[in-house]
Amino acid sequence: MFLAVNSFRFLTHYQSDLYVHLGIFKPAYLVTLSEAITEELGSTLPVSSPISNSSDNPVFIEESSIDIYKVGQNFSVAPDQTANWVVNVSLALRSASNFSNSSLILSIPELNLMSDALPVSPIKNTATSPTWVGVIWQIPDKVPERWYPHNLGKPKLYNLTITLHLSELLREKLVSFTTATGFRTIQLVQSPYSQEDVDVRGITPGDQWHFKINGKAFYAKGTNIILFNPFYARTKPEAVKWVLESAVKSGQNMASPLESILMI
């Protein structure tokens, strides 16, 4: 049994008018894992979601990371818009038993897609620190509909189901969860102004910065979002919803919280 809590957060940006927000900002709860492996396992969810039916499971999914990009794409290589999609899934697991030959199966019901059983590294019997496992699944470019900001297209999302098969089980009843995700590329383009821009438009020589979504340049319109409250627990979902809906209604397609850029 162990205590599951969300990570501590620190305010890394200097703001003299706000307290530094620090501490647990989502519910904490006790998670129990059973060493006895039954044929009928319930579902479990990442720690950011409510947990149900975890007492009969030998494995707890503490954290999940889903990264979708194009084959060959990286921070210095622009995405090839015709290349296959890569679905990169990583899970942080805490386990009451050792599992040496486990696998993950990924599926998107709306597209009638299901991966083969993708092997993962051995899962260790440890509650002091999580064991990370990961898989990569490729999907043809033309199969999923692309996600766009609300004013450039349709923000299409799909239900991705991640199912963990444990090696010692005799039947195909498993630990799994479903999360919504989308397929899109986002690129910050930094290219020099042409000599024509400098001569005709009078632009100072230098680099222009703009974003491309799915290979298409667009005009970014947005605002900076300051913390709703220096204490996370006091932030109301209604307040966040009101601000984001107001941004959409005013024609914005990008917001910038202190820690990241959020496309809407």
Secondary structure, 3-state, 142-183: CCCCCECCCCCCCECCEEEEEEEECCCCCCCCCEEEEEEECC
Q: Is 153 left (phi over 0), alpha (psi -120 to 50) or beta?
A: left
Residue ranges of the domains in the chain?
A: 60-181, 185-217
Residues 6+ away with beta carbon under 8 Å from 126: 94, 95
Least-confidence region, from 12-16, 65-69, 108-112: 12-16
- pLDDT (0 to 100) of residue 86: 98
pLDDT greater than 90 at residue 7: no
Residue with tokens 């991640």: 162
List, for residues 90-114, the tens digit of each pLDDT value: 999 988 888 888 999 999 999 999 9
140 within 8 A of 117, measured Cβ to Cβ: no
Structure tokens at 176: 């799994």
Least-confidence region, from 66-70, 81-85, 87-91, 210-214: 210-214
In the structure, what pLDDT confidence band is assigned to residue 235 with cuts at 50, 70 and 90? confident
Residue with tokens 């479990």: 44
How is domain 60-181 classified at the architecture level of CATH? Sandwich (2.60)
Largest Cα–Cα separation, the chain: 75
254 within 8 A of 262, measured Cβ to Cβ: yes
Q: How far apart are CA 254 and CA 224, in angstroms?
A: 9
List, for residues 183-227, the tens digit of each pLDDT value: 999 998 888 888 988 889 888 888 888 899 999 999 888 888 877
* CA dist list (Å): 247 to 113, 150, 217, 243, 250: 35, 11, 21, 6, 5
Mean pLDDT of the chain: 80
pLDDT greater than 60 at residue 71: yes
pLDDT greater than 60 at residue 120: yes
Q: What is the mean pLDDT of residues 36-62?
A: 54
- pLDDT (0 to 100) of residue 263: 72
List, for residues 162-189, the tens digit of each pLDDT value: 999 887 654 444 688 899 999 999 998 8
Instruction: Give start and end residues of each alpha helix (H) in the chain.
Output: 195-200, 237-249
In the structure, what pLDDT confidence band is assigned to residue 240 with cuts at 50, 70 and 90? confident
Q: Which of 96, 110, 111 minimizes the C-alpha distance to 175? A: 96
pLDDT greater than 50 at residue 50: no
- pLDDT (0 to 100) of residue 10: 38
- pLDDT (0 to 100) of residue 223: 81
- pLDDT (0 to 100) of residue 106: 96
Helix, strand or coil, per DSSP, at residue 242: helix
Q: How far apart are CA 38 and CA 157, in angstroms?
A: 34
List, for residues 128-167, the tens digit of each pLDDT value: 788 999 999 999 999 999 999 988 999 999 999 999 988 7
Q: How far apart are CA 30 and CA 98, in angstroms?
A: 21
Least-confidence region, from 22-31, 73-82, 164-173: 164-173
In the structure, what pLDDT confidence band is assigned to residue 52 with cuts at 50, 70 and 90? very low
